[in-house]
């Protein structure tokens, strides 16, 4: 019975092991698929960048930048139109002409007549049979190998080509009227076109055409009896040999297949005949090539064309002998040099490249002029929405305010003539009184009149520096349990003495014109013309520090830890389903802050009614604290209006240290028991008090350590003040007695 049970357990263990292996395999396959999917997504060219936004936009735009951009866009548009005209009309193509050499030993036979080549020749009239005549032959040389392994050039039998009058058909040229005008129809042409050119003198096979003008004689076979030598010399003495041929010109800016090659009659070759001299010419015909990229959307495709050209003539003279028998010889040969034409039109991709290049250049140029201004405007907008400055730093002895605001009249609710002597103050004050009568429920805070009208009450008459006043207020609020009626004015004073920091275009222009970038603004920050720029740079530095990635992450972690510490799991669950997370069709579903109803902004609104309402609202809200017991959070928030950082423990330690002796401070540093430090949280004082409640108790052990500490201090400083004081006073004897008692008890 045990054997089946063991087998069953073994099977269960095996099936469990197989299940774990299967799960691991599935997990591994899923991980591989996820990794492959992530690698495939990494090649996405259209991935969207994740950036911060400003007012819902991923870029900060200014009117100045828009004006410069409009100019650059006009320049870019004009350039684009100009280049587009080039693109459509294919003007000014890029043509490269390169000359090359052919290996005629390997080059196949060339038939120039297939590419449109043709020629005509004559002396202007028919030559009498007893004087002479023309011959055209296909000459061919070839190397032959012998049995002994040697090679020898052998001339094969030549083949005569039939000659006849050109007329209008044999000379293959399209413009027949031109043939008549040039009298080419009366010249001689080949009746057949079966000839070819190949190789050169050193090639294995060498073929060329030979055209000769013969005198009647033994070398020239004529059916008539030849005239005497004198008659032949007299006949040829005033004659001119003309050789006309069809040449080709590659037209650079023609894209019609029928017109990109221009054929014309070339009469560059002619001789004045001399009966006693032989005119010889090597006439080379080259096979040129063309690579055409004429497509507007160029993706590497091209068209290859071939055409003939004749530009190379080698002319020389030789003495005539009767054994020669001819006075003109033209050898039409295959030219080993050839020209390659590469033509590339201005395409659509080049058009986009030029536009993109110009756009990048214009943007770089624009950034040179706009970048600095746009950057400062961007930071000024951010600083204006985040940070505040004091309207006034201090009061002078004449109860007048020293202004730090450059636009006080615009920001003040009801400016007073005691601050600014400008036209229209009486009208504004009358408007104020009328608004007070029409809206009596909105009362202007009395402390506001303190700032705006210069009527300083007794509390502030002695204040020369507002910062010192704020410092005293924060110490007073540290121990305040209730807000009294007179405290409302102090709080409203802190509100009304704040305004948004405004840094406008005129300030940037002032910064540039005064060359502030080359001056030390920090050293001159007290001067009026430097102060605003110094505050801007300081605010910019502060903002960049707060935008630090590490700082942001640490702040977010603090909030997460606070949420975890202050909220239960159920509360955190409910927090995830707040209505603010809900997107609805109603306009109220948007929780974005466009800063239109910002309190500080409404305090500076140009509409006096809006300013009246917001100040009345502020006063009523602050009066809600009157007579109410403040909790630590509210107390710290009110102190935060007057002090930058709240450090209660450090402040209490500092206050305690100021009222301790050197001995007590050293005991605290050494970690010895000190009841004053232990009971630091129980200390109660009032503003201005210099005494604290000491709750220390007598202890023999503490007396023992105190006596030892006094002796060590005296030895370390090499002075005898401690011992002298001990001997000369009753208290000193008591200390020695306490030491002896402590030694005995220890």
Q: What is the per-residue pLDDT across 565-612, written as a single tens digit (0 to 9) for each?
A: 988 888 888 888 888 777 777 655 555 555 667 788 888 888 888 888
**pLDDT tens-place string over residues 15-45:** 777 777 888 888 888 888 888 888 888 888 7
CA 449, 455, 460: angle at the middle one, nearest 5? 100
Q: Whole-prediction pTM value?
A: 0.57
* Residue range 671-692: mean pLDDT, rounded: 46
* Residue range 11-15: mean pLDDT, rounded: 67
- Give the pLDDT score at 731: 41
H/E stretch holding 309: strand 303-319
Q: What is the longest distance spanned by two Cα atoms in the chain?
A: 173
| CA 705 to chain CA mean position, Å | 71
In degrees and rounded to multiples of 5, residue 173 shows phi and psi of -135, 140
Task: Give dist(CA 127, CA 226) in Å, integer.
Answer: 12
**pLDDT tens-place string over residues 132-180:** 899 999 999 988 887 777 888 888 989 999 999 998 889 999 999 999 9
- Give the pLDDT score at 173: 92
H/E stretch holding 155: strand 151-155
Q: Mind giving me the DSSP string for 627-685?
A: TPBPPHHHHHHHHTTT-S---HHHHHHHHHHHTS-HHHHHHHHHT---HHHHTGGG---
Per the CB < 8 A criterion, the answer to whether 235 and 241 are in contact is: no
Higher per-residue confidence, 359 vs 398? 359
Higher per-residue confidence, 325 vs 660? 325
How would residue 446 be classed by pLDDT, with cut points 50, 70 and 90?
very low
Residue 488 confidence (pLDDT) above 70? yes
* Residue range 192-199: mean pLDDT, rounded: 91
Per the CB < 8 A criterion, the answer to whether 700 and 737 are in contact is: no
Higher per-residue confidence, 646 vs 111? 111
Per the CB < 8 A criterion, the answer to whether 305 and 290 are in contact is: yes
């Amino acid at each position: 019975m045990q054997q089946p049970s063991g087998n069953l357990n073994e099977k269960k263990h095996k099936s469990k092991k197989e299940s774990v292996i299967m799960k691991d395999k599935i997990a591994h396959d899923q991980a591989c698929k996820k990794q492959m999917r992530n690698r495939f997504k990494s090649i996405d060219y259209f991935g969207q960048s994740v950036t911060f936004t400003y007012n819902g936009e991923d870029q900060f735009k200014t009117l100045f930048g828009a004006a410069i951009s409009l100019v650059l866009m006009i320049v870019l548009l004009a350039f684009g139109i100009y280049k587009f005209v080039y693109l459509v009309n294919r003007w000014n193509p890029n043509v490269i002409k390169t000359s090359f050499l052919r290996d005629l030993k390997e080059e196949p036979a060339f038939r120039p007549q297939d590419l449109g080549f043709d020629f005509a020749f004559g002396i202007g009239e028919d030559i009498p049979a007893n004087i002479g005549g023309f011959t055209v032959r296909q000459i061919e040389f070839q190397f032959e190998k012998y049995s002994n392994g040697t090679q020898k050039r052998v001339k094969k039998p030549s083949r005569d080509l039939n000659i006849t009058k050109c007329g209008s058909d044999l000379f293959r040229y399209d413009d027949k009227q031109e043939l008549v005008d040039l009298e080419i129809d009366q010249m001689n042409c080949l009746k057949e076109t079966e000839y070819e050119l190949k190789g050169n003198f050193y090639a294995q096979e060498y073929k060329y055409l030979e055209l000769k003008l013969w005198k009647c004689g033994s070398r020239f076979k004529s059916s008539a009896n030849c005239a005497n030598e004198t008659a032949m010399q007299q006949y040829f003495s005033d004659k001119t040999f003309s050789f006309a041929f069809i040449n080709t010109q590659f037209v650079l800016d023609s894209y019609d297949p029928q017109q990109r090659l221009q054929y014309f009659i070339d009469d560059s070759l002619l001789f004045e005949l001399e009966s006693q001299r032989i005119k010889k010419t090597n006439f080379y015909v080259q096979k040129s090539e063309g690579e055409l990229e004429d497509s507007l959307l160029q993706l590497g495709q091209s068209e290859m064309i071939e055409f003939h050209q004749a530009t190379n003539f080698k002319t020389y003279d030789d003495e005539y002998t009767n054994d020669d028998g001819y006075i003109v010889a033209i050898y039409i040969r295959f030219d080993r040099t050839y020209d390659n034409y590469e033509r590339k039109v201005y395409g659509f991709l080049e058009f986009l490249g030029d536009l993109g290049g110009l756009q990048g250049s214009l943007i770089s140029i624009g950034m040179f002029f706009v970048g600095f201004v746009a950057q400062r405007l961007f930071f000024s907008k951010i600083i204006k929405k985040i940070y505040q400055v004091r309207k006034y730093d201090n009061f002078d002895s004449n109860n007048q305010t020293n202004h730090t605001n450059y636009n006080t009249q615009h920001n003040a609710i009801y400016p007073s003539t005691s601050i600014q002597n400008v036209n229209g103050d009486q009208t504004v004050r009358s408007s104020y009184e009328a608004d007070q009568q029409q809206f009596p429920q909105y009362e202007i805070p009395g402390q506001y009149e303190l700032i705006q009208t210069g009527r300083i009450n007794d509390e502030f008459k002695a204040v020369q520096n507002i910062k010192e006043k704020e410092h005293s207020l924060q110490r007073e609020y540290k121990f305040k349990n209730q807000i009294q009626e007179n405290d409302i004015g102090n709080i409203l004073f802190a509100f009304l003495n704040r305004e948004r920091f405004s840094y406008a275009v005129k300030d940037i222009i002032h910064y540039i014109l005064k060359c502030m970038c080359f001056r030390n603004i920090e050293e001159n920050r007290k001067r009026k013309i430097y102060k605003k720029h110094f505050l801007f740079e300081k605010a910019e530095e502060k903002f960049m520090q707060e935008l630090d990635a590490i700082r942001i992450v640490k702040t977010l972690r603090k909030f997460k830890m606070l949420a975890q510490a202050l909220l239960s799991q159920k509360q955190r669950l409910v927090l995830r389903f707040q209505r603010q997370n809900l997107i609805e069709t109603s306009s109220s579903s948007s929780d974005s802050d466009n800063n239109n109803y910002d309190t500080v902004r409404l305090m500076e609104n140009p509409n006096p009614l809006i300013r009246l309402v917001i100040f009345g609202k502020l006063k009523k809200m602050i009066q809600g604290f009157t007579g109410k017991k403040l909790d630590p959070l509210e107390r710290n928030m009110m102190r935060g209006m007057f002090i930058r950082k709240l450090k209660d423990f450090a402040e209490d330690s500092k206050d305690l240290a100021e009222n301790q002796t050197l001995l007590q401070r050293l005991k605290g540093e050494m970690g010895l028991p000190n009841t004053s430090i232990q009971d630091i949280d129980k200390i109660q004082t009032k503003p201005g008090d210099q005494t604290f409640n000491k709750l220390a108790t007598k202890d023999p052990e503490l007396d023992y350590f105190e006596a030892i500490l006094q002796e060590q201090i005296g030895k370390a400083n090499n002075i005898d003040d401690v011992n002298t004081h001990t001997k000369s006073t009753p208290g000193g004897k008591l200390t020695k007695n306490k030491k002896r008692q402590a030694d005995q008890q220890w």
